[in-house]
Amino acid sequence: MRNTLQYILKKLLFMIPMVLVITFLIYGGLELTPGDAISHMIPPDQLANVDPSQLEALRQAYGLNDPFLLRYLRWLWELLHGNFGYSITSGVPIKDILLQLFPATLELSLAALVISTVLGSILGILSALKKGSIGDNALTVLGMIGVSIPQFFFGMLCILVFALDWAILPIGGRMAPGESGIWAHFKYLILPASVLGISLTAGVMRYSRSSMLDTMNKDYIKTARAKGLPEWRVNLLHGLRAAMTPVVVLIGFRLPMLIGGAVVVEEVFQWPGIGVLFVDAVRSQNTPLVMIIGFFSVLLVLVASIVVDIITALLDPRIKLS
């Protein structure tokens, strides 16, 4: 227990310079893009008619004329004081935007993670146990197809079949006005979560299959078989636990990546999440909003790495936290 606490503390201290470096690079990347947020606030057909002095006054008011390093340090200072700032384009507090949209993205990502983890792990392990069979070959082909199909195409196909042709699920959105109840909300989640989850299932399946095959060739598995243990006990109690260790690492890093990578699915199904908002913020050079979303994305990845290391050590006693 003491070693675990020391490990977590060391990792948390290591996160501080990592967050500083990555957020500095994000801020620098935005600085290198042409134009600024002011030019995106005004429609292009009206921009030519605006007095340059008014544009300059707006840039001065938003602090865009200050040196790059000063602006970054000012943003960092406000962040340390819990002030996330305001969206330049809408003027809405960023904290309110995150509270409104982040739960939708987290809900979609968690549902997709559960689908891909359960389905991918089961299919991968069954494929490994039936290596060389017709079922194994069929799952391998399906896995290759799953990796190859673009998410937007798969999403549009699902909308065409389940929403338009069969009319059993809604086209998109998170909840229709006037609706309430668990099923009323759940039916809107089924299609986007399934598309996002199934598109990731192939990767989990191939990874768990490879890990299970590698584990089944270990000496302690052969020893367990030589002792006359039932095959189901060898596979489940001895093989599965060790085989899931590298799969847990893969799954642990999937959630933060899902939160940032659900942009396509959110766009196709008009899911009111944070992914589409982030893309729009980058396009409009809405620096405060981009920085806060980037900051929390980095934080999620770093925290996920700590959690994955701890779970891995619990699954495999040979791994020591240090």
Contact 289, 87 (CB under 8 A): yes
* 265 and 293 in a common domain: yes
User: Counting beta carbons within 10 angstroms of the beta carbon of residue 167, is it exposed (0 to 12), middle (13 to 18) or buried (19 or more)?
Assistant: exposed
* 121 and 69 in a common domain: no
* 117 and 180 in a common domain: yes
* 234 and 171 in a common domain: yes
pLDDT digits (tens, 9 = 90+) for 76-127: 999 999 899 888 888 899 999 999 998 898 899 889 988 988 888 888 888 8
What pLDDT sits at residue 174?
82
User: Counting beta carbons within 10 angstroms of the beta carbon of residue 126, is it exposed (0 to 12), middle (13 to 18) or buried (19 or more)?
Assistant: middle
CA distance 186 to 207: 30
* 75 and 18 in a common domain: yes
The tokens describing 71, both together, are 């602006």
Residue type, 93: P
Name which of 161, 151, 166 is nearest 108 in CA terms.
151
- In a domain, residue 321? The reply is no
pLDDT digits (tens, 9 = 90+) for 9-36: 888 888 889 899 999 999 998 888 877 7
**Backbone conformation region of residue 178, classed left if phi is above 0, alpha if psi is from -120 to 50, else beta:** left
CA distance 76 to 98: 18
* 157 and 58 in a common domain: no
What pLDDT sits at residue 141?
84
Contact 31, 68 (CB under 8 A): yes
Q: How far is CA 117 from the centre of its chain?
A: 14
At residue 73 the predicted structure's pLDDT band, cuts being 50, 70 and 90, is very high
What pLDDT sits at residue 93?
93
* 140 and 287 in a common domain: yes
* 210 and 170 in a common domain: yes
Q: Write out the residue range of the structural domain in which residue 27 sits.
A: 2-80
CA distance 192 to 175: 13
At residue 47 the predicted structure's pLDDT band, cuts being 50, 70 and 90, is low
Contact 286, 89 (CB under 8 A): yes
- In a domain, residue 111? The reply is yes
- In a domain, residue 95? The reply is no
Domain boundary among 45, 80, 115: 80
What's the mean pLDDT when you consider all of the chain? 83
At residue 302 the predicted structure's pLDDT band, cuts being 50, 70 and 90, is confident
CA distance 192 to 171: 10
User: Counting beta carbons within 10 angstroms of the beta carbon of residue 143, is it exposed (0 to 12), middle (13 to 18) or buried (19 or more)?
Assistant: buried
What pLDDT sits at residue 322?
64
pLDDT digits (tens, 9 = 90+) for 113-144: 889 888 888 888 888 888 888 888 888 888 77
Cβ-based neighbours of 293, under 8 Å, separated by 6 or more = 98, 274, 277, 278, 281
CA distance 52 to 265: 40
Per mean pLDDT, which range of 58-67, 172-181, 218-227, 240-249 is the poorest? 240-249
Name which of 168, 188, 160 is nearest 176 in CA terms.
188
Which of 142-151, 217-226, 271-280 holds the top average pLDDT?
Answer: 271-280
* 254 and 289 in a common domain: yes
Name which of 252, 240, 251 is nearest 209 in CA terms.
240
What pLDDT sits at residue 1?
63
- In a domain, residue 66? The reply is yes
Q: How far is CA 255 from the centre of its chain?
A: 4
- In a domain, residue 186? The reply is yes
* 282 and 174 in a common domain: yes
Name which of 141, 152, 162, 135 is nearest 195 in CA terms.
152
Q: What is the pTM of this model?
A: 0.81
* 16 and 112 in a common domain: no
Domain boundary among 19, 45, 80: 80
What CATH number is attached to the domain comprising 143?
A: 1.10.3720.10
Number of separate domains in the chain: 2
* 109 and 43 in a common domain: no
Contacts by residues 305-311 (CB-CB < 8 Å, ≥ 24 positions apart): 305/11, 305/252, 305/253, 306/8, 306/11, 306/12, 307/252, 308/248, 308/249, 308/252, 308/253, 309/7, 309/11, 310/4, 310/7, 310/8, 311/248, 311/252
